[in-house]
């Protein structure tokens, strides 16, 4: 019994010293500096790309339109402890059915997407998907993998910022994330919606609708640039199967249609 107790004590002491030795080998100052540098880089990249967009695209500044979009975002943020003020949401006048996230919490929505969603819940599902990309740091993971961390670092502080901004924008707006990240964003969006009492089924319906519509230019729209859209619709429906689904509508049907009409008049 004494021998057993002694061995246990010896193991505990040995484990303690092993952990202490391991931690002592970590250069925390270097680690923190890398994190700080990455955060600064992300902020610079996001603002650099957005400045590029502002210079070349038509942006919606109509208060009633932007406020309606904010209202659709609010329940998703409130129910999921997401700081809505941290999101930099922009609406671009473009008939493509698209939305995408940029570094530094920029979220871009095209008017074509708002007009094409038959249900407000479908739009909220897309918004939730892009918020998940932001919240889970998918944006920088994608860019680091496809463009390279060192290249991004150079772009954030170099003279060729404008040229790189265009390349980064093209990467984020017209190519898919890894399938695992897409699924994580899809399911996260569904969870956001369910927490807010919003029915996620229209999100799956929207995916299926887009995949089946042969009249849409598939060169650039939200669902075409994401892999296996029908499969995604199916696993969303499978995820919510048997769960208690609420049907809160953020905007009245009248306000939703008015919102879409105002957006359509921007074109």
Reported as a single tens digit per residue, the pLDDT across 65-118 is: 999 999 999 999 999 999 999 999 999 999 888 899 999 999 999 999 999 999
CB-facing half-sphere around the CA of 86: CA atoms within 13 A: 12
Which pLDDT value is given to residue 220?
47
CB 177, CB 163: distance < 8 Å: no
Which pLDDT value is given to residue 16?
56
C-alpha 26: how far from chain center: 32
Which pLDDT value is given to residue 12?
67
CB 94, CB 114: distance < 8 Å: no
- For residues 120-143, average pLDDT: 95
Which pLDDT value is given to residue 224?
53
Compute the mean pLDDT over every residue in the chain, rounded to the nearest whole number: 83
Identify which has the larger pLDDT, 163 or 34.
Answer: 163
Give the span between the Cα atoms of 54 and 98, in whole angstroms.
Answer: 17
* Token pair in block for residue 223: 């669902």
- For residues 189-212, average pLDDT: 93
CB-facing half-sphere around the CA of 26: CA atoms within 13 A: 9
CB 73, CB 88: distance < 8 Å: no
**Range list of β-strands (E), 80-125:** 88-92, 99-102, 106-110
- For residues 14-33, average pLDDT: 49
* Token pair in block for residue 93: 């006048």
Residue 168: which pLDDT band, with cuts at 50, 70 and 90?
Answer: confident
Collect all residues with Cβ–Cβ distance below 8 Å to 187 and sequence separation of at least 6.
235, 236, 239
pTM of the model: 0.81
CB 110, CB 97: distance < 8 Å: yes
User: Parallel, antiparallel, or unpaired for β 99-102 and 88-92?
Assistant: unpaired
């Amino acid at each position: 019994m004494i021998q057993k107790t002694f061995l246990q004590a010896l193991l505990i002491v040995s484990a303690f010293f092993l952990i202490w030795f391991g931690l002592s080998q970590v250069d925390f100052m270097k680690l923190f500096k890398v994190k700080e540098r990455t955060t600064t880089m992300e902020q610079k990249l996001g603002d650099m790309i957005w400045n590029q967009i502002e210079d070349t695209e038509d942006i919606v500044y109509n208060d009633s339109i932007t406020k309606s979009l904010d209202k659709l975002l609010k329940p998703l943020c409130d129910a999921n402890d997401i700081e809505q003020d941290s999101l930099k949401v922009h609406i671009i006048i473009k008939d493509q059915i698209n939305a995408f996230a940029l570094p530094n919490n920029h979220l871009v929505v095209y008017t074509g997407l708002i007009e094409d969603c038959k249900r407000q819940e479908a739009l909220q599902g897309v918004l939730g998907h892009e918020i998940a990309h932001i919240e889970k740091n998918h944006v920088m993971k994608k860019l680091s993998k496809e463009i390279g961390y060192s290249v991004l670092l150079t772009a954030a502080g170099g003279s060729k910022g404008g040229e790189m901004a265009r390349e980064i924008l093209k990467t984020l707006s017209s190519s898919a994330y890894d399938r695992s990240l897409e699924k994580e964003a899809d399911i996260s969006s569904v969870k956001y919606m369910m927490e807010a009492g919003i029915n996620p089924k229209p999100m799956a319906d929207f995916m299926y609708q887009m995949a089946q519509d042969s009249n849409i230019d598939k060169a650039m729209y939200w669902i075409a640039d994401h892999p296996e859209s029908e499969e995604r619709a199916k696993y969303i429906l499978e995820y919510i199967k048997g769960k208690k689904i609420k049907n809160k509508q953020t905007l009245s049907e009248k306000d939703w249609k008015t919102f879409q009409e105002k957006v359509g008049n921007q074109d």
